[in-house]
Structure 1
């Protein structure tokens, strides 16, 4: 069953904004093919106060093993140059989490890949 996705219709006014919206939806759907196309092979994901995941393969394995998401609500997407951020709420069968993901890209261009994600997450 696919998760319910909730977001503002104006979340697609720039290529990077659209990419971050689609990337978060792909994560909720465990669409690892989409994610792999948009992250660097040397990506680093850091959960603040938790683990660091290095490399495309480990990031994809972590996504595959995560609890299924039943709802993703995206509240805001902000991008500028080589950085971007998305915040909202993720719900699983048993828990709900507020999150903010801060993205660093390999460059400022619209085809730049994601090289680092800093993840802030708290159970609600």
Structure 2
């Protein structure tokens, strides 16, 4: 899987963590994901049912279609929160995404306890 990142992503350690975690999500790397997910993580998809617990997230990841490319447009961090947006390509189709992440603390080794993910069906620019 090809991963492209913004040039500004090298400075903050949490940027690297978020990028690695989301690349693991799209690349179906469960071992990498497992090291960052809290056992009781809640992964929300506004308008749909949330996933509760690491096992549910892992099952969702395994059921997702293969991703060939992830382009990160931005990765932001502040304290125990962070976000990333970009575009992933799966089956030749590009899908814009945004993930808002909440860690247990601001520490570098803190586990991910909550995520809100948004996936756009189509780009507003294309309409």
TM interval, shorter chain, is: over 0.9
For each residue in 1:31-67, what CA deviation from the matched residue of structure 2 results, as whole angstroms up to 9, or x when unmatched? 1101000110000000111120000001011101101
Match of 1:68 in 2: 66
Detail structure 1 runs of 4+ shifted over 6 Å in the superposition.
none
Matches within 5 A, 1:18-97: 18-97=16-95
* Higher strand fraction (1 or 2): 1
Partner Cα separation in structure 2 for residue 101 and residue 55 of structure 1: 17
Matched with 1:17 is 15
Alpha-carbon contact 1:96-1:123 (below 8 Å) kept: no
Q: CA RMSD in A?
A: 1.1
* Offset from partner CA, 1:49-88 (integer Å, 9 cap, x none): 1120000001011101101011111000000001000000
User: What TM-score do the two structures reach when normalised by structure 1?
Assistant: 0.93
Unaligned 5+ residue runs, structure 1? Answer: none
